[in-house]
Amino acid sequence: MSNNNPSFKPTLGLLDATMIVAGSMIGSGIFIVSADITRNVGSAGWLIAVWLITGFMTLTAALSYGELSAMFPKAGGQYVYLKESYNKLTGFLYGWSFFSVIQTGTIAAVGVAFSKFAGYFFPSLEMTDENMLAQIGFVKLYPAQFVSIAIIIFLTYINTKGVQGGKLIQTTFTVTKLLSLFGLIVFGFLLAAKSEVWNANWTDAWSMKNISGDNSITAVLGVAAFGAIAASMVGSIFSSDAWNNVTFIAGEIKNPQRNIGLSLFLGTLIVTVIYVAANLMYLSVLPLNDIAHAPQDRVAVSASNLIFGNIGTYVIAVMIMISTFGCNNGLILAGARVYYTMAQDGLFFKKAGELNKNAVPEWALWAQCVVASLLCLSGKYGDLLDMVSFIVVIFYVLTIAGIFILRKKRPEIDRPYKAFGYPILPAIYMLMGITFCVLLIVYKPNFTWPGLIITLIGIPLYYLAVRNKKQEA
């Protein structure tokens, strides 16, 4: 490499990699989505079951990814695995979906969550009609959106200065939010748990019901139960997603063959345990109906008010601001490495394939920043994320299927780590993932088709990129 385009520097250790996994996973979801899950399944047992199913899927996928990360310990992660398992088109479709909405939409959503909770301290940031700056068509502009953009720009700038700054922010903020969440759970059990609330919640714990907004309850029977579980898991999967971000920065991790797989396991295990424990705490503090109908779905705020009294709201607001700030840093740091690798393959803007003097893909970072900022302004980033949840799981299934393909196609490649529980656990994940996607197609078509269309738009773009590459050759 020339001095103008230096190589990635492996400066991240096991702790840093684990903090990127855990920090990218924990955003605002754990504080909010349990309300929607409870409305869909209507019981304590099924609320915990949804989080356990999601946790099992996440851990299984992470353990499977360890084999792929050890085989291909370089920047790009999932894009590289799909390209090597199938072809460049499949890799590109993932990369395109990743750039157009998966990563950038998540950055936007997490950024706006930061601003919305900052509204507890600065009322002008509340996304209410009196704070609206302007309306352009269906798009409403609020100060909170511009604060979100400022946060995204700031974190992007920090990450253009080298991986060390991003590493420091990631490790500091992730440790802080893990300790904060742990503290919330412990104080919840010690200070606010009531045996009568817990016992009432666990009475008839496995009777699935739908709790509507007007408090009417409808029993969920037969195959409809599968649809309710799938609808519930949209929230829990979103809350548990982004664990694979560490694979995108493989080129900057020390001893990647060992540390990526281990960080995937440790990070996802830590987060899964905390998520299940948090929901058990909610069930010990809040009646099921209060979880289902928490104001603006802010279950953690309702719990915190019972734990800490009047300051509870502000405690959670600070926790979520810390959580989302750290989460976005991890997303921003990792995402740009995918576009870098795509550009190296001639399938993305050429400038994205260059590293600056600090050995980071600066142009790719700023391109990601622009798209995420536009999604902040659109007001539709939440819809986009819901739509693409279907696509995210499809690509996870395809990636894990790649383990089976590569064992047949490339048996000669060194595998320092092999997928735990192969072939049973990866096969179980694929079955669960496919079932989830089929159920979404049947019961939530609004989640599936738009996401599929976004992905398929990538096919003509791929052939356009290939043609341009041939013309330049």
pTM: 0.88
* 380: Cβ contacts below 8 Å, ≥ 6 apart: none
DSSP notation for 352-406: GG---TTSS-HHHHHHHHHHHHHHHHHS-HHHHHHHHHHHHHHHHHHHHHHHHHH
Nearest to 114 by CA among 326, 377, 380, 331: 326
**Alpha carbon distance 381, 367 (integer Å):** 17
Residues linked to residue 140 through DSSP beta bridges, in sequence order: 135
Q: Are 429 and 401 in contact (CB under 8 A)?
A: no
Q: Are 228 and 217 in contact (CB under 8 A)?
A: no
Q: Are 467 and 405 in contact (CB under 8 A)?
A: no
Q: Are 29 and 235 in contact (CB under 8 A)?
A: yes
Q: Are 268 and 237 in contact (CB under 8 A)?
A: no
- Render each residue's pLDDT in the chain as its tens digit; 473 residues: 344 456 788 888 999 999 999 999 998 889 999 999 999 999 999 999 999 999 999 999 999 998 998 898 887 889 999 999 999 999 999 999 999 988 998 899 889 889 988 988 999 988 888 889 998 887 889 999 999 999 999 999 999 999 889 989 999 999 999 999 999 999 999 999 999 999 999 999 999 998 887 777 888 888 889 889 988 998 898 888 889 889 888 888 999 888 998 999 999 999 999 999 999 999 999 999 999 999 888 899 999 999 999 899 899 999 999 999 999 999 999 999 999 999 999 999 999 999 999 999 999 999 999 999 999 988 776 677 777 788 889 999 999 999 999 999 999 998 888 888 999 999 999 999 999 888 888 888 887 888 889 899 999 999 998 988 888 76
SS (H, E, C) 121-173: CCHHHCCCHHHCCEEECCEEECHHHHHHHHHHHHHHHHHHCCHHHHHHHHHHH
Sole residue written with tokens 């995420």: 372
Sole residue written with tokens 């019972």: 306
Looking at residue 1, its pLDDT comes to 38
Ranges of beta strands (E only) in 243-330 are: none
Q: How many helices (H) and strands (E) does the chain have?
A: 21, 4
Q: Are 89 and 454 in contact (CB under 8 A)?
A: no
Amino acid symbol at 228: A
Q: Which CATH superfamily is domain 14-468 in?
A: Amino acid/polyamine transporter I (1.20.1740.10)
Q: Are 391 and 455 in contact (CB under 8 A)?
A: yes
Nearest to 103 by CA among 433, 297, 332, 426: 332
**Alpha carbon distance 233, 436 (integer Å):** 8
Q: How many residues does the chain have?
A: 473
Looking at residue 473, its pLDDT comes to 66
Looking at residue 3, its pLDDT comes to 43
Measured CA to CA in angstroms, residue 357 lies from 2, 12, 40, 119, 160 at distances of 11, 18, 51, 38, 9
